[in-house]
Amino acid sequence: MLAWHLLEQRQEETVSERPEPIRKAFRMKVHPGHEAEYERRHRPIWSELENVLRSHGVSRYSIFLDPATQDLFAYAEIEDEQRWNAIAKTEVCRRWWRYMREVMPSAADDSPISSELREVFRL
């Protein structure tokens, strides 16, 4: 019984010692008529891309589609802005961007055209 209580206490301390993640939200688009292909390419993402995201401090990452407008809403929880920005410099990320450029608006470097969103409410 005492060992269980100490384990619970240690877990609570570990959770409370973790800094709160940085919350990122941004909007992108998918080309009209490419929604199903965009989704197919994310089911699942490449394991090597997932590894890069996690190793760069991404703990959660979701993308939502509004089929009426082709808007994509992305939400990520990250540990550090510098590590988040470093993802774009990885070979895997650049290869992913090249893979996705035909289904979504992209910049000259193949990165998805996106706009950051500012959080205005949180519960």
Q: Over the stretch 84-97, which tens digit does the pLDDT of each residue have?
A: 999 999 999 999 99
In a domain, 123, yes or no: no
For residue 38, give the CATH number of its domain.
3.30.70.100
- Residue 8 is predicted with a pLDDT of 59
Asked, for residue 122, whether it belongs to a domain, the answer is no
Residue 106, domain member (yes or no): yes
Length of the chain: 123
User: Which residues have a catalytic role annotated?
Assistant: 42
Task: Check residue 19 and give its pLDDT.
Answer: 87
Number of domains present in the structure of the chain: 1
pTM of the model: 0.83
Q: How far is CA 1 from CA 5, 6, 13, 52, in A?
A: 6, 9, 19, 41
Which residue segment(s) compose the domain that 81 sits in?
20-116
Distances (CA, A) of 95 to 64, 69, 71, 107: 22, 27, 23, 14
- Residue 99 belongs to a domain: yes
Tokens of 114: 């996106």
Residue 18 has pLDDT above 90, yes or no: no
The per-residue pLDDT of the chain, averaged, comes to 92
Report residue 24's pLDDT band, with 50, 70 and 90 as the boundaries. very high
- What is the spatial distance between Cα 95 and Cα 100, in angstroms, rounded to a whole number? 9
Element of type H or E holding 33: none
Instruction: Specify the pLDDT at position 17.
Output: 73
Task: Decide if 56 is inside a domain.
Answer: yes
Q: How confident is the model at residue 105 (pLDDT cuts 50, 70, 90)?
A: very high
